[in-house]
Structure 1
């Protein structure tokens, strides 16, 4: 009887230790573990279509969007400009923008610099720099690489 008691106690301890190790391996704390970045530097799919653009206007809407099924939700705004009409501006992932000390709300005057993409007659802007008053939010470098990427090529 003593032998079966020791064997069952040993098996129970092995299961407990195994479950503890496995559960901690799959646990992902917010901001502490490895999180692959689903965003790649923007590459224009058609040569000559993407061009630099600057828009000045009033923010009419701030919302979230998902560009791909594998991507994290991104933040976007609609800007009403006097000369170009309403422009859809993609800013970047929500998790990155939450960490910035930058607040956008409808009615604010903004100046957005970025890469213009014409898709099916609609103008979209991938923002590289957003300015409101004295505040500036840098989102991408001159080559279109996002600031939230850890490694940068020289």
Structure 2
């Protein structure tokens, strides 16, 4: 009997964590995660007028936090093998970010590459098991430490994603299409 109760409790905890809500009597409460400092300072906005002005405003200028990060962080080169490939959404309504786990000789590193669509549009293959060289710097996004990619090379392909100041270069692609 105690095993069944413990299993039920664990199941409820997992459900609460996954859904961000719990019930107390007749009241429903929502657990909202605290926004990280980087999200509070984000200048990300949805395009409301023209695509061109949105691109200029949000994708081709350095963000204040990125400039500071670039001044205080040193660029690292990561050499290893891709263990997994998935997507994450950092900010609500933002494009999905391609996320990989890279195993080096010393550690396993979570890496944020850039918007998934840029890799799809350019037919740049990111495959599990592939050898990879990534240049970037480590950042804290909430409680999660990741490498933010400046440049990636894998499978004979190379792509520069951000400049040294952290400014995304995929905005120039959008700008050219607008």
Alpha-carbon offset, residue 45 of structure 1:
5.6
Distance 2:83 2:129 in 1: 6
Higher mean alpha-carbon deviation, 113-122 vs 135-144, is at 113-122
Match of 1:78 in 2: 101
1:108 aligns with 2:130: yes
RMSD: 2.7
In the alignment, structure 1 residue 34 sits paired with structure 2 residue 43: no
Q: Quote the residue 2:81 is aligned against.
A: 58
Q: 1:143 Cα deviation (Å)?
A: 2.2
Structure 2 residues not aligned, in runs of 5+: 1-49
Residues 74, 120 of structure 1: alpha-carbon distance in 2 compared, 3 angstrom cutoff = closer
* 1:130 alignment partner, one of 107, 129, 152: 152
Aligned partners of 1:49 and 1:117 also within 8 Å: no
> Matched residue pairs, number?
118
The answer on whether the counterparts of 2:67 and 2:165 sit within 8 Å (CA) in structure 1 is no
Aligned partners of 1:127 and 1:46: how far apart in 2? Answer: 13
Within 2, Cα distance between the matches of 1:72 and 1:120? Answer: 18
The 8 Å contact of residues 88 and 124 in structure 1, kept in 2 or not, is answered as yes
Cross-structure match for 1:11: none
Q: Structure 2 CA distance, aligned partners of 1:137 and 1:46?
A: 21
Deviation at 1:101, TM superposition (A): 2.7
Structure 1's unaligned 5+ residue stretches are 1-32
1:75-103 deviation line (CA, Å, top 9, x unaligned): 111101112x1111111112222111310
> How many Å separate the matches in 1 of 2:168 and 2:157?
19
Per the TM alignment, residue 51 of structure 1 is displaced from its structure 2 partner at its CA by 2.5
CA distance in 2, matches of 1:94, 1:80: 21
